[in-house]
Amino acid sequence: MGRSDPLNDRQLEVLRRLGADQDLSHPQDVRFRTSARVLQGRGLVKVSRRDGGWQAALTEAGRFYLDHGHHPDQPGDERLRGHKPEVSPDEPAAEVPGTSGQRKGAATQGSPPTPLLAVRRQAAAVSLIRRLEAETSVTIDDPDEDTVTEWRRIIDFAKRHGLVPAGTWIEKRRDWGAGLTIELKRGDPPNKRVRSSETLAVPVASRLRSPHPVVARLRDDGGRLVMPAARRCRCLLILQALAAEAERRGHTVTDEPVPEHRKIAAYTSMGRYHPSHYTRREGEIRVGIGEFSYVVTLSEENPQSSDPERSQRLVIEVPYRTQGRQYRWADRKTSKVEERLGTLLQELETRAVEDTQHKIDEEQAKADRHRRWKRAMAEAHRLAYEEHNAAALRDQAKRWRETQDITGYCEALAERLEREPPDSPHIQQAQEWLSWARARAIAIDPLRSLPTAPEHPELTPEDLKPYLKGWSPYGPEGSRPW
């Protein structure tokens, strides 16, 4: 394979993932690292190992390939290479995804972008950034999957080429039923990666002096951190360093009590009372960041191992989050738990930012859902009352037709009675029947007085259900009020 030959599908996928600042250092990404090494040989990627971790980044040639669809060393039309078009605010409107001016099939997954497509995508990215700077938020109503994919590529293009204003980041959010929302936010993104070399080292003392109250209670609790004395002392020093650094950063540190289900209930045996007790190998503290808090657990990694080296290893953990995110740090040949405390705190701080944003998003989604539910309820009331009016109208029309039939019948009966001799039998009964029929026609005639719309009844939740299109009449969350 020559240096300027086209990339295969996997190499192109690796190049795109690196262009989107994705981390390929996780175990599940091992299959991509060989391709990254090949790309390094072609000058498109730079691979290195720092702080014991595998890292890869695009070179200028790699970014050129993503933008233009070919290697910069490949012979071709030099006028398109590195071309930066001047774009007016109105010019790229026809190239924005989801508009009628977009050329269908211009970009498909797995095929490299053409030079012309790179120019068009740049125009769309510039237009998007200018619009976000002016409006902060852009919403695309009811986009299909191709439109969402094209917007993602435009946002990635803006990130790769430094079009996003300094001190801001772009968030895209798919709200089902409400479209795709793209926002320009200030500050750093919640998932911003920080190299381990940039993580502040947390000093760990050699002796436990003036321990934090939480650490002191762990030290004095013989039922926790049940392990050899030297190892227990090391655990307390680590937790003391973690607690001190967390408070230095403005966080809180509190106790994490042993759950009741892990305790042995009090009992009496052979006349002797045994109070409730427990025996736990781990020690736990709770770190509070803003309105959220997280449990940190420190314990032996292999307490039952017969290997002296393995049995001495410690592991510090936080609750599992998502695939690809680190949640445990253990002693290894190249590093110790003590060296990972800064990384652990950074993970907790990242979680707090994400949880805060998630809570905001949930509250916004809940408020939006409540607004849509109220609109649905108002529409259901309107439709229910309209159906009530229609039913009343159908009843009036039915009675009017019946009145016309009875009136015609009465006229025919009256003519028949005029032809009948006065001494004819049953004439008296016929005249009485005619009088009753005429009274009946008058009684049921809806036009006897000017008709008006009927009064609207009090609607029950069951009355509204047929008109709510899946919404619950009891609330936006679909629960009944108790």
CB atoms within 10 A of CB 95: 23
The DSSP call for residue 83 is -
> Residue 247: is its pLDDT beyond 70?
yes
> In the structure encoding, which two tokens stand for residue 176, read together?
């089902």
* Residue 94 confidence class, pLDDT cut points 50, 70, 90: very low
Q: What is the pLDDT of residues 272-312, one digit of tens each?
A: 877 777 889 999 999 999 999 999 999 999 988 888 888 89
Instruction: Give every CB contact of residue 228 below 8 A, 6+ residues apart in sequence.
Output: none
Taking CA atoms, 225 is separated from 212, 236, 253, 278, in Å, by 16, 9, 18, 11
Cα-Cα-Cα-Cα torsion 418, 421, 422, 424, nearest 10 degrees, comes to -120
191 vs 296, higher pLDDT: 296
Answer yes or no: pTM beyond 0.85.
no
> Residue 13: is its pLDDT beyond 70?
yes
**Long-range contacts, stretch 378-384, CB < 8 angstroms, 24+ apart:** 379/467, 380/464, 380/467, 380/468, 380/471, 380/473, 381/459, 381/464, 383/467, 384/459, 384/463, 384/464, 384/467
Instruction: Give every CB contact of residue 265 below 8 A, 6+ residues apart in sequence.
Output: 276
> In the structure encoding, which two tokens stand for residue 316, read together?
């510090």
Task: Report d(CA 203, CA 341) in Å as an integer.
Answer: 9
114 vs 470, higher pLDDT: 470
Instruction: Give every CB contact of residue 106 below 8 A, 6+ residues apart in sequence.
Output: 117, 120
Among 202, 160, 158, 161, which Cα is nearest to 184's? 158
Q: What distance lies between CA 155 and its chain's CA centroid?
A: 18
* Residue 250 confidence class, pLDDT cut points 50, 70, 90: very high
The full DSSP string for 284-307 is EEEEEETTEEEEEEEEES-TT-SS
Task: Report d(CA 173, CA 139) in Å as an integer.
Answer: 10
What is the average pLDDT value for the chain, to the nearest integer?
82
52 vs 374, higher pLDDT: 374
Is 310 within 8 Å of 300 (Cβ atoms)? no
In this prediction, residue 438 carries a pLDDT of 95
| Tokens 């070179």 found at | 59
* Residue 102 confidence class, pLDDT cut points 50, 70, 90: very low
Is 128 within 8 Å of 155 (Cβ atoms)? yes
In this prediction, residue 77 carries a pLDDT of 39
Half-sphere exposure of 115 (CA within 13 A, CB side): 14
Query: Cα-flanking dihedrals φ and ψ of residue 87, to 5°?
Result: -120, 130
> In the structure encoding, which two tokens stand for residue 372, read together?
């849509």
CA angle 95, 152, 349 (to 5 degrees): 145
The full DSSP string for 14-67 is HHHHHHTT----SGGGHHHHHHHHHHHHTTSEEEEEETTEEEEEE-HHHHHHHH
84 vs 148, higher pLDDT: 148
In this prediction, residue 110 carries a pLDDT of 43
> Mean per-residue pLDDT for 385-400?
95
Task: Report d(CA 91, CA 79) in Å as an integer.
Answer: 21
Among 346, 351, 290, which Cα is nearest to 319's? 351
In this prediction, residue 52 carries a pLDDT of 54
Query: Cα-flanking dihedrals φ and ψ of residue 168, to 5°?
Result: -135, 165
Q: What distance lies between CA 394 and its chain's CA centroid?
A: 49
* Residue 197 confidence class, pLDDT cut points 50, 70, 90: very low
Task: Report d(CA 322, CA 342) in Å as an integer.
Answer: 20
